Amino acid sequence: MVTDKKLIESLFLSIKKYNTPRYTAFLKGDLKKDKVLSSNPNMLMIMWLMSAQYDAEKASYIPFLLEERLGSCDMNFLASLPLADIERAMSEPTPVHRFPQKRASYLWQMAKLITDKYNGDVENIWQNVSSIEISRRLREIPGFGQKLSSMVPINLIRNLGIHLSDQVTMDIAVDVHVERVLKRTGLCHQDADYAEMALTARKIAEQEGRFAMELDLPLWATGKFFCHEYNAECELCTLNDVCPKIFEISDLYEQKYSITYEEAIIAGINPEDNNAMKLLRKNLESWNYNEPKSANEAYNHHGIERLQLLRQIKHQLKDDIGFSVLYDKLEPRRGQKARNLSNAMGLPLQPWIGLGSSVRLREFVNEYSNYLGGHIIDKKWSSNEP
C-alpha cells in the first residue's frame, strides 16, 4: 500500500486540474451561458434561491428565462415590479420551477431586501466579510435555509474563485462525494461522521502547511466525476496510482455480481451465498420482458419480481414525473405504446399486471425511496442528486 504522503501530495497537485470550468461550472453543458451566469451576481442569487427543492442544473437556467420574460434580473428592477408580474413570469407560458408561486414571492422579497439593505448590490452581501457572516446574512432572506446559506460561501470559493476573509480557517464542505473519497483512500475510517471528516482534512492541510479549503475542490471533484458510488472510474482518476481503493462491502458486490448488496436483500437472497448470487444474476440476465408479470407478487413478496420492477422504475424516474405517467408505462392495458418505444431504444419495460393504481404505485416507490435515490414531493418524483 502506498503511503499517505504520496496520496496527499497527489490531492494537492490535482487542484490545478480541477480548477477549470469543466469541473467548476454551474452549467457544464453550456459553458458560454455559465460564463454569463458566473459573472452576474444578480443571476447567481436567483439561481441559488431557485435551487432549493429543485434540480441544480435546471435552477441554473431560471435566471436566463426570467431575464427573457421580464427584461432584467437586476434587484432594483425586480423590487420595483408588482409581485403579480414576477408570479406570471415564473408560471407563464410554462412554470420554471416546481413551486413557481412560492419562489416568485421569495424572489420579490429578496429583491426588496437587497435593494433596501445592500443598496441593490448583491456583491455587498459577501464583500470583505467572513463566511459565517455571509451565511448569517443569507438566512435573513426568505427561501434561504441553513443548508443553502452554508453552501453559498463554498460556491463562492469552489466555483467562482472568490477569496473570503476567513478562508484559511474554513473547513471543507463534506457531502457524499467527499465522504467516498476520504473513506476509499483510507484517509478516514469507515465509521467517521461528517465532523470527523472535516477535522481530518484540516489536520492533513496543517501537516502540509496549507489550509483545509484547498482540499475541498479536489476531494469533491474526484468523488463527483470519478469516484462514483458504483462503477468508479478509477483508471481516469488522478489518484489511481496512489489510492488503496478501500471499497465498502456493497461496492465489492456490485463489482463481482453486477448486483448491489441492497438489491440482493430486496430479492430475498443471502448476499453471503455465492451460488444464490450467481443464480440471481443469471435470472436477471435471462428475464423475459415480453411475459406479463404480477405486480402483486412484486409488491407482497421479496423476490426477483420485486427487484426487477424496482430496477425498471429506477430507470424511468425523472424529476417531476407524475405517477400516472409511470403507471401508463408499466401497465399493459395503458402503456403498450410506451413499452414499444422503450423496446425500440433497447430499454425494455415489462408489462406488469395488477399495479392497482397510480396511488398504490406511489406508495411502493415511497417505500423504496432510499434505493431509488429520491423522494416524493406533491405526488411527483424528486431525485436526491444534486
Shared-domain flag, residues 228 and 272: no
pLDDT of residue 2: 37
Q: What's phi and psi for 377, nearest 5 deg?
A: -125, 125
SS (H, E, C) 322-334: EHHHHHHHHCHHH
Shared-domain flag, residues 123 and 40: yes
What does the pLDDT look like over 159-197, one tens digit per residue? 888 888 888 888 888 888 899 999 999 999 888 888 899
pLDDT of residue 255: 62
Report the length, in residues, of the chain: 386
Shared-domain flag, residues 254 and 328: no
What's the structural domain count of the chain? Answer: 4
Measured in Å, how far apart are the chain's first and last C-alpha atoms? 33
242 occurs within a structural domain: no
pLDDT of residue 345: 63
18 occurs within a structural domain: no
Asked whether 313 and 372 are in contact (CB, 8 A), the reply is yes
What does the pLDDT look like over 367-385, one tens digit per residue? 999 889 888 888 888 887 6
CA pair distance 328, 121, nearest whole angstrom: 49
Q: Residue ranges of the chain with pLDDT lower than 50?
A: 1-3, 386
Shared-domain flag, residues 361 and 277: no
Place of cell 484540516: 202
Shared-domain flag, residues 147 and 34: yes
pTM of the predicted structure, to 2 decimals: 0.59
Domain final position from 137, 158, 179: 158
What does the pLDDT look like over 96-132, one tens digit per residue? 998 999 999 999 999 999 999 999 999 999 988 999 9
Quote the domain boundaries for residue 201.
Answer: 4-12+171-236
Give residue 53's Cα distance to chain centre. Answer: 11
Question: What are the distances in angstroms from CA 290 to CA 51, 342, 344, 351, 372?
Answer: 41, 12, 13, 7, 24
CATH number (domain holding residue 90):
1.10.340.30
88 occurs within a structural domain: yes
Shared-domain flag, residues 36 and 154: yes
pLDDT of residue 256: 63
Asked whether 377 and 322 are in contact (CB, 8 A), the reply is no
Shared-domain flag, residues 188 and 297: no
CA pair distance 80, 70, nearest whole angstrom: 12
